[in-house]
A and B are shown apart, each in its own frame.
Chain A
Amino acid sequence: MDSVFLVLKHDKAAVISLIILAVVILLALIAPLLPMDPNATDVINRLKSPSTSHFFGTDEVGRDYFARVIYGGRVSLLVGFLAMLTSLTIGVAVGTISGFCGGIIDTILMRIVDILHSIPWMILVTVVSIFLKPGIQSIILVIGLFTWMEIARLVRAETLSLKEREFVLYAKFSGVRVFHIILRHIIPSVFPTIIVSATTSMADAIMTESSLSFLGVGIQQPMSSWGSLLQDAQGTMQNNFFMALIPGLLIIITIFGFNKLGNLLRVYVEPKVMNDEKE
């Protein structure tokens, strides 16, 4: 824990981005409790500048932009989180099975990873999302299904070294089933890696979702996400440039925050693991 504080002391950007990240997550969580409606139109007050009644002004149909940004963040974070969970589950399963079983299973799984990796994912995701019914579920699925390869590789590499460790050899020797060995011995040992890649994966998923929504194949109206808010803001860029600035900044800060969080977790988790083994 001390090492984490040491890093925080020297990295003001990390502190600020983590605080903003915390506020964003909190607002996203309590959004339904706030007295505002992101979909209530008010055509008289359209394209207003920020004021006390509308913190971020209103958009071109008079909806409160602050509420839309918060609800958009809700969608972005939810998609990021669930897509991260999906890709983490697939990645960890493929990585541990591939690394532990070896042989032909390993070869097949890793070639699949190579193939998926060699297709430019933006094209892949765009093409697939055209075929799926547009909506939040398909976005989560599409991102989750095509971003697990890096995690699988990381987990496989660690599993390869873990399976030669004597406690794993012994479990195999005493007849513990492969599934149990992976669950009880391998996954707890690769957990630090999993946690760290979870944060990066979350940041990547938010980024992907924003890009997709910006391109119009992601979140559809009236629902908004930061990416779709960016797209909507294009039309009014000249008069209300802050409408593009706010979601853009939030995307940048959130991704930056998650990456910093990943760094901190790495610092927090790794010395402990080293102590466990070397003590």
Chain B
Amino acid sequence: MDQNNHEILLEAKNLCKYFPTKDFFGRKKAEVKAVDGIHLAIRKGETFGLVGESGCGKSTLGRTLIRMYEPTSGSIHFKGQDITGWKGKKLLPIHKQMQIIFQDPYSALDPHLNVKEIIKESLTAGGNMPASEMDGRIEELLKRVGMKPDDMHKYAYEFSGGQRQRIGIARALSVEPEFLLCDEPISALDVSIQAQVVNMLEELQEEMGLSYLFVAHDLSMVRHISTRIGVMYLGRLVEVADSDELYENPLHPYTKALLSAIPIADPKVARITNRVVLTGDLPSAMDVPSGCHFHTRCKYAENGCKESVPELREISPGHYVSCSCIQGIMHNESNTLEK
């Protein structure tokens, strides 16, 4: 069982995704480095949470991993196979095993099709299913996500946001995937609905043995659902750790600032908590700082941070941080604590 837990399902090595920007004459002007050299491994059955500011490349990383976007460089391994160079028809079986749930349930479903047609499309694409089995299968899927079989003939706009998200999940599950990219699946929903959807995702994970990459910016929800969490800043992973470890013992200065931004419900506790406030603005993704991307806003930054790119290093078992000054910072902190 333990052995099984550590089997790696999806792995990225030095993955990059750059978007070229073009000038008036169509020449390449600059590149937006949305994903810039990421090493990541997602284990079978786990939920890997991915957090970070908007525009830091979380969704791009997810979509590149499932080969929705073409990676610029680096490699992606799925179940031990290198799928980086795969194209067209060869990718179809891979896409059936890696599915996606979108952030915006309004633009994820075609307003001109009814639920049956929406699910049918992903069921039939690339493969065949006899029409007689189709209805039963769709009914079963709808039941699984907590909807009525009659809903099959309704159009997407007749449903609320939460119900649409359920349809999106049913569509993703229709091909029996092993890996599900949840691309901010709950950020467009009401708080009460968020909990329902998250609970449902957890139940489905248990039933079907799914692995999730859960992209989000709601930090408390990510902690709740994730086994491990990665923190992204401007296209790079700055810290990866087990969920509780990361929240209780954040090491990277950016993670600290990010986590201290979680609102605390109790005002008494909130008053005595030190909020780490970052100075400066998020640099533009088209013109990222040299060396460690975070050095422009980091209070521990040294001269070396401007030049060398820090690697993701294991500080304690399972806890990876990419910061060249991490030893100094940790030392400093234990001193302040003693005082």
Contacts and interface: CB of A to CB of B under 8 A. Distances in A.
A175 B106 contact: no
Interface string A153-197: 000000000000111011101111000000011001100000000
A279 B157 contact: yes
B109 A174 contact: no
A260 B108 CA distance: 35
Nearest to B174: A174
A166 B167 CA distance: 14
Nearest to A187: B112
Contacts of B100: 170, 173
B104 interface: yes
Interface stretch (B44-52, B118-126, B247-255): B118-126
Contacts of A2: none
Interface of B is mostly: loop
A51 interface: no
A238 interface: no
A171 B126 CA distance: 11
B278 interface: no
A151 to B, nearest CB: 20
B95 A174 contact: yes
A167 B125 CA distance: 14
Contact of A175 (B66, B104, B108, B125): B125
Contact of A174 (B106, B111, B126): B126
A176 B121 contact: yes
Interface residues of B, number: 25
Contacts of A277: 106-107, 111, 157
A275 B158 CA distance: 11
Contact of B122 (A170, A184, A188, A276): A170
A175 B108 CA distance: 16
Contacts of A176: 121, 125
B68 interface: yes
A279 B125 CA distance: 29
Contacts of B91: 175
Interface in B160-185: 171, 175
A175 B95 contact: yes
Contact of B157 (A170, A171, A188, A275): A275
B286 interface: no
B287 to A, nearest CB: 24
Contacts of B195: none
B107 A276 contact: no
Contacts of A171: 121, 125
A169 B113 CA distance: 16
B68 A188 contact: no
B110 interface: yes
Contact of A185 (B89, B95, B102, B110): B110
B92 interface: yes
A171 B66 CA distance: 14
Given A173-B95, A279-B157, A167 B126 contact: no
B109 A167 contact: yes
Contact of B112 (A166, A175, A189, A278): A189
A74 B126 CA distance: 48
A167 B107 contact: yes
A95 to B, nearest CB: 18
Interface of B: 66, 68, 89, 91-92, 95-96, 100, 102, 104, 106-113, 121-122, 125-126, 157, 171, 175
Interface of A: 165-167, 169-171, 173-176, 184-185, 188-189, 275-279
26 contacts: A165-B107, A166-B102, A169-B68, A170-B102, A171-B125, A173-B66, A173-B68, A174-B95, A174-B122, A174-B125, A174-B126, A175-B95, A175-B125, A175-B126, A176-B121, A184-B110, A184-B113, A188-B110, A189-B110, A189-B111, A275-B157, A276-B111, A276-B157, A277-B106, A277-B107, A278-B106
Question: Which 10 residue pairs across A and B have the least CB separation, nearest first?
Answer: A175-B126, A188-B112, A276-B111, A167-B110, A174-B125, A166-B108, A175-B92, A175-B125, A174-B122, A166-B102
Given A166-B102, A166-B104, 4 more contacts: A171-B125, A174-B122, A175-B92, A189-B111
